[in-house]
Structure 1
């Protein structure tokens, strides 16, 4: 049998280090039979094999994350205050009260708060219409969901100045005041999450910052406004007027009572400014990005798009100027190829497409609006803060250097619809807007595709024709590839 004077194992050998190869003449009982010695060796081999299997399974258990204790499990849950209990605020509250590790809803602020109370929020949550309560010591993170710039910006400044982290869906504040807010966050050791400010529930900010952090992005474009995309999709699929579809969108809650911010491009303008800062690493003043409205489009424009194998979308685009510090940027209706990613989103969906020097083109697609999708983005930022993984998001916004200037987009073919037929084409040619292809038209209108030219050149022609009642440009859409 195996034996040793000081015990079962040889001197200096731990049990896990001793195996069947250690069964030699020094450790064998001289009175044991050869068969018994062989059986013992087999037993040791079986034990060694079993031990190896157990080790592999234990390692796999911990590597899978099942055996890892996270920061949020070790720490006291972050105490969250929601500022603004509208559609998104209610969706965020539902997620939090149904149990999210590391987070606890403690306060809800809203003006005239009694009309906002709901019985499904636990009694432990404090309701208030006094904003000072949000900045009390028993709140760790402020979720700003009131919208607009005033007083939202001031409340966010106040929270960050007190060292409280902030999560927001406010695109206007982030586009106009992001630099100041990020400087405040870094100076006070706070975090600032803003994933929900662009494209609702699509994780485009984190996707660009973390998933594409090793690339150098040179262009970002997208369909960033769900209201416009719903209207344009409906007009393309049925013979209805712009006014009829807009009224339907308002009835369904897809469009505001005053839809100007959406239709005229100002909503997408703010989102594009954020994407330029995060993706291209070039901050721009949002109001310097040219915007054109989708108002005035008619059925004939959608018929022309189909004839050209294209779809009409409100397109936002920003790209780095080669060998320079500027940004080419614009927001407005455009004709895109039917096989492009921009054409493949319908209804209220959003898409963001980025082009990188090394990784090529990457697309982010999903629901760009609505309470639940936006709430998912908000809670994802909260979880990142709770787990200590939000530093990268807080440092996503460039704070060094001055804003970059916005320059006009390069020359592109344009689709034009103009009153005046042949005379309109002659006058436009005089102004340098040359037709390359005429399309079928009715009622003495000119429908054509131009040679490459800038949108600004067409707008100058339109201004020169302002006083000419017989010749007017009614629609001008760039053809985007």
Structure 2
């Protein structure tokens, strides 16, 4: 039987995502009530700019006093889609203190203070759900922390930022330069006016921290994630990748060490084989590749951003939290029992693609090879092209530690015959 008293929801933020959440709650009210077992009522909407026109949003629900809204005491669930650290953090903890569970899409806050938020939720016996914080509409958080709860996840490898994937895909398929591809992404609305968070990897790093924490049952903060942006990727890098049967993606990579004693989390551009499932992810789509002991290899794919896709994930969490509310239960909270150390980037082992500008004369290759050998980095392949006294030398290594590669590059820069290190890129997916 359906409960007649509605569950009351406070919505914090009414931008692209928030307004879509409000629209779906209104237009699909009957379906949501049937799935939950009780009506759901939008009780108030906290915003910064009350005068902004919001189609389909009841003006009488809009307030600038978000604190008073979450303190009302009759709110069952708070949906937070305002983003940022403050006031979101204070509003979420206040919601717990006043009896509400929370659904959030705030990747930055969860990556920085997820442990404290989980502790606050547990202390007050409330839920904290955040499917929408990573990869938009793609069901990913719940499969990792529920469906794979009995398995051992070893690696999470993914494209988790649609803006950067759109830019790199354009560079790959059309031969466009970085700025040209970025301008097109901006014109189409995929990139913000200030794209720094996306192109410098901050957005992906926050998502990597969340994914690593869930996958490895270990607290991983944003500061633990090694981050490199993709603004230095060039058309020459793509040309070289194509010669190797590869393409370039900005990847979030979370790995458990082979001995199982530590984990790493990193974000950077990487060359991957065209045969890898992630290589075919085009445009602004996201995809995450999960490797585990029992399930093997799993692929999660779909739209990773936008109002409707993100709102879909928010509403999915809202339904789950409301069901828990009715049954008097709570869903899974933080699982950090493993408490594995997070290793520094220098201990990460992978392959590398290094492009050098060198003098076109005898003995250069031997000098370069000697430097690699002295630092314990084994060379897999070498490709050299020369013209008019100058040459490019492309070296692809076997697996080596990041620290060893760093020492190698530093020594190469000191060679008189090396005019410059044009690019360094990791080679993944094998």
Report the TM-score range of the alignment, normalised by the length of the smaller protein: 0.7 to 0.9
Q: 1:393 to 1:305 in 2, by over 3 A?
A: farther
Structure 1 CA distance for aligned equivalents of residues 114 and 365 of structure 2: 46
Which residue is equivalent to 1:234?
Answer: 170
Map of 1:131 onto structure 2: 66
SS at match of 2:253: strand
Structure 2 stretches of 5 or more lacking a match?
A: 34-38
1:335-414 pair list within 5 angstroms: 335-388=271-324, 394-400=331-337, 404-408=341-345, 410-414=348-352
Corresponding position of 1:430: 371
Match of 1:87 among 16, 19, 28: 16
Q: Is the 8 A contact 1:284 1:403 kept in 2?
A: no
* Aligned 1:36-185 pairs, distance under 5 A: 69=1, 73-74=2-3, 76-98=5-27, 99=29, 100-101=32-33, 102-115=39-52, 117-122=53-58, 125-135=60-70, 136-185=72-121
Task: Report the more deviating stretch, 470-479 or 221-230.
Answer: 470-479
Residue in 1 aligned with 2:226?
A: 290
Greater strand proportion: 2
Match of 1:252 in 2: 188
Q: Decide whether the 8 Å contact of 2:12 with 2:46 is kept in 1.
A: yes
Deviates more, 1:238-247 or 1:402-411: 402-411
CA RMSD of aligned residues (A): 2.5
1:259-298 aligned within 5 A: 259-298=195-234
Distance, in Å, in 2 between the alignment partners of 1:171 and 1:157 is: 16
- Between the aligned partners of 2:281 and 2:241, the Cα distance in structure 1 is 16
Aligned position for 1:479 = 427
Take 2:384 and 2:175, find their aligned partners in 1: how far apart are those partners? 18
Larger radius of gyration: 1
How far apart, in 1, do the equivalents of 2:413 and 2:247 lie? 29
Q: Give yes or no for contact 2:135–2:304 (8 Å, CA) kept in 1.
A: yes
Corresponding residue number in structure 2 for 1:456: 403
Q: Residues 335-360 of structure 1, C-alpha deviation per residue, up to 9 Å, x if partnerless? A: 11111121121111111111111111
Is the 1:424–1:472 Cα contact (8 Å) retained in structure 2? no
Quickly say closer, same or farther: Cα 1:128–1:463, change in 2 above 3 A: farther
The 2-side partners of 1:208 and 1:324 are apart by 18
Structure 1, 232-241 or 455-464: larger mean CA deviation: 455-464
Check conservation: 1:209, 1:393, Cα contact below 8 A: no
Contact map agreement 2:99 2:126 (CA 8 A) in 1: yes
Rounded to whole Å, the distance in 2 between the matches of 1:450 and 1:236 is 23
Please state whether the residue corresponding to 1:237 is helix, strand or coil.
Answer: helix
Aligned to 2:36: none
Bigger shift: 271-280 or 403-412?
A: 403-412
Alpha-carbon distance in 1 for matches of 2:329, 2:348: 34
| Secondary structure at 2:185 match in 1 | helix
Match of 2:133 among 181, 190, 197: 197
Task: Judge conservation of contact 1:103–1:383 (CA < 8 Å) in 2.
Answer: no
Work out the CA distance in 1 between the residues paired with 2:26 and 2:78.
16
Alignment check: 8 A CA contact 2:353 2:394 kept: yes
Unaligned runs of 5+ in 1: 1-68
1:194-222 deviations in whole A, cap 9, x for unaligned?
A: 00011111010112223222312122111
Looking at structure 2, the residues matched to 466 and 160 of structure 1 have their Cα atoms a distance apart, in angstroms, of: 55
TM-score normalised to the size of structure 1?
Answer: 0.79
